[in-house]
Structure 1
Amino acid sequence: MSQPLPIKFSKPPAIPRDSLILITGVNGLIGSHVADQALAAGYRVRGTVRSKERCAWLEPLFASRHADSADRFELVEVPVLAAEGAWDDALLGVAGVVSVATSTGMRVTDVDKEVQESVAEYINLFAAAKAQPGVKAVVFTSSAWAAWIPEPNVATVVNEQSYNDRAVQIAADETLSPQEKGLAPFMTIKARVEKAVWDWVEREKPVYAFNSLLLDTVIGPILDPKNQPASTAGMVRSLYRGENLGLLGMIKPQWFIDARDAGRLYLAALTTGVTGWRVYGCAQRYSWAAILEILKSLYPEKKDFVNLPDAGWDHTDIQSDKHELLLRVAGQAEWTSLEQSVRDTAESFLSRGSS
């Protein structure tokens, strides 16, 4: 797999190179790409996982991708994110924090309970960071679903103040079955948690810069397909195999972002001195039918691809350009295309024999 290109900042970063960056959930698709980009840009990385034993593969992974990672990448264990003092040691000497780790899954049984638990985990980290005078910036991972429900062929306008109130209403409607609610409970958690996090920032006024990234579907090469949970990039693998079609059917046409571009977006939001931004991680529209056609063109010898119905297309108008500005600050002129991202994702799992 190709190495990441070093970021060429268009202006000196507010957090200088060689500073120490804490990345939570570094074993996941997003966290690993943030770490990959940070190491390539000349930062030192301390990545947190719930179990060092289960995630020992991360150190040889980054050693194979970055010659000096033995001195620049450190793996630490934080098994309980909301525990008192959980972050004290992990934050020592840190200049920036990228919060990726989450305990929320897509199958939700108790929205209020999961919101309460998630908020407690995040605030525990952000409050601990507030107590560390060296922390200059924090980036929080939200979701585009915190802002709106994707609906194909419906003209929807969202901006930097949008929250998914409609999902909240659907999730709270006791007349609807779980099937009728669909992913609304999960979207509700994302919206309510992000609101609570921003409320905490407004109330507590930490001295560090604070921004949130609202990522839509993340696709891109899985850095270690043998050991790593594939997350949303694994849906491309599922489509290639003809598996999990029910889940794919629940995820309507919307936007995607390549995992490498997301890594650069995080780094730009963290290191360039901006604050108070809600940044959409949305690069290009996609549908699973469109991805299927790309896979068919890439692998014409495979004759057993499934067929998918045309689910329509996304018509959301995202009235914000902050993600475009940050991409350019990171020295990248344009987003990785859907075609390239699907190609690289497929090659990552096929080359490792995990087809």
Structure 2
Amino acid sequence: MTVPTPAIPKGSWVLITGVNGHVASELASQFLERGYRVRGTVRDLAKSSWLVDDVFKTFAAIGDFELIRVPDIVQDGAFDAAVKGVSAVAHVAAFGFGDDPNKVIPPTIASMRSILKSAAAEPSVKRFVYTSSVVAAAYFSMDTTDHVTHDSWNDKAVAEAWSPPPHKETFEFAVYMAGKVAGEKELWRFVTEEKPQFVANAVNPQTILGRRLSKNCSSVSAAMIPNLYNGIYPPPLISPCVYGIDVKEVALMHVAAVLDLDVKSARIHVWGRLYTWNQVLAAMRKLFPKHTFVDDISSGETLKMTVDQTLALSLLKKWGGQDDWRKLEDVILDNLKGTAEE
């Protein structure tokens, strides 16, 4: 495979926020394997020591991987030290679920603003990528019929998140979605108004499945297939049908967003393949015929929302040498390493 000319040369430092997370640790792995150096931010160095003592031990030993503590990502100037000398920034760290929009949405905006200001003040930064989500562009539900485009925004979730009580049982998810809207909109506002020296892109995945580099790496979505193997159905808020994308491919889209000279101000919608959980169960039964699985989920519903993944697929081919998304069976096997019976 011919390697494209990258926007930043090998050996450059790449800053990855929340590097102890599912996507961020996979992203760190891919950059390191491509010959880049990675500085990762974490809130607690001791709790994240598994990254330097185990997963990236070889790279840490030669000085190509390091951790830096950023205890409060919403503070102005929180990333000033972290961005020193880096050529690219991948802002992957995120706030989780909560039932108070004031504790999710304003902090998400503040953290985005903080890292953007730090990056803009550091002349070495040439590229910036943000881990957004499908829910920044569309309200994720079985009823949504939207065709998502570059200009799509989930205004419905924002209105719901700031609505007065009483709230629906899906309220926490609405707050999460609104946070993603706010974070990505702040990115594009800053780029438009402040005109920083770096190129910015966003990656908008759907349900992220696949391997975890360590059992210490927690992830709600990465736990769903192992949980299903162990007889636990996906959470009630997870629909019976999802677009599933492998974490390796989500990370690769971030790599492309940083390295591809032709990708500028892009929203890379990377959804992968449409699966029902019954299809996942069927694949697992085929892979592990001796294991007893839970019954199928009695639902014939399917997602009606759509998107054009042409850009993502072209980047998958250009930077990963793949013609299509990984097969479900391969994603399952990756996700179940160390969990399932041989």
> In structure 1, what is the Cα distance between the partners aligned to 2:145 and 2:123?
45
Q: CA deviation at 1:155?
A: 4.1
Corresponding position of 1:24? 17
Q: Is the 8 A contact 1:9 1:331 kept in 2?
A: no
Corresponding position of 2:325? 335
1:128 counterpart letter in structure 2: S
Corresponding position of 1:262? 250
Corresponding position of 2:131? 141
Corresponding position of 2:181? 191
1:31 counterpart letter in structure 2: A
Task: Trace 1:161-240 onto structure 2 (pairs within 5 A).
Answer: 161-174=151-164, 177-179=167-169, 181=171, 183-225=173-215, 227-240=216-229
The question of 1:129 aligning with 2:119 is answered yes
The question of 1:33 aligning with 2:26 is answered yes
SS in 1 for 2:150: coil
Q: CA deviation at 1:159?
A: 0.7
> In structure 2, what is the Cα distance between the partners aligned to 1:277 and 1:269?
8
Corresponding position of 2:96? 105
Task: Trace 1:145-164 onto structure 2 (pairs within 5 A).
Answer: 145-152=135-142, 155-164=145-154
Unaligned stretches of 5+ residues in structure 2: none
Q: CA deviation at 1:99?
A: 0.6
Distance 1:214 1:185, change over 3 A: same
1:259 counterpart letter in structure 2: V
Corresponding position of 1:88? 80
- TM-score, scaled relative to structure 1: 0.88
> In structure 1, what is the Cα distance between the partners aligned to 2:253 and 2:83?
22
> In structure 2, what is the Cα distance between the partners aligned to 1:207 and 1:52?
31
Q: CA deviation at 1:90?
A: 1.2
SS in 2 for 1:186: helix
Task: Trace 1:304-319 onto structure 2 (pairs within 5 A).
Answer: 304-319=293-308
Distance 1:182 1:277, change over 3 A: same
1:278 counterpart letter in structure 2: R
Q: CA deviation at 1:275?
A: 1.5
2:80 counterpart letter in structure 1: D
Q: Is the 8 A contact 1:99 1:140 kept in 2?
A: yes
> In structure 2, what is the Cα distance between the partners aligned to 1:141 and 1:111?
20
Distance 1:331 1:9, change over 3 A: farther
Task: Trace 1:54-93 onto structure 2 (pairs within 5 A).
Answer: 54-63=47-56, 70-93=62-85
SS in 1 for 2:132: strand
Q: Is the 8 A contact 1:24 1:98 kept in 2?
A: yes
The question of 1:50 aligning with 2:40 is answered no
Corresponding position of 2:278? 289
> In structure 2, what is the Cα distance between the partners aligned to 1:9 and 1:209?
24
The C-alpha deviation readout for 1:190-219, integer Å capped at 9, x for no partner, is 112211221122111111000011111111
Which sits farther off after the overlay, 291-300 or 198-207? 291-300
Unaligned stretches of 5+ residues in structure 1: 1-7
Which sits farther off after the overlay, 40-49 or 185-194? 185-194
Distance 1:51 1:129, change over 3 A: same
Corresponding position of 1:3? none
Distance 1:250 1:62, change over 3 A: closer
Distance 1:11 1:145, change over 3 A: same
> In structure 2, what is the Cα distance between the partners aligned to 1:167 and 1:96?
31
Distance 1:261 1:203, change over 3 A: same
The C-alpha deviation readout for 1:32-77, integer Å capped at 9, x for no partner, is 100010011110111111111011010133346x567632111111
The C-alpha deviation readout for 1:61-111, integer Å capped at 9, x for no partner, is 3346x5676321111111111224321221111000111111x222x2222
RMSD: 2.3
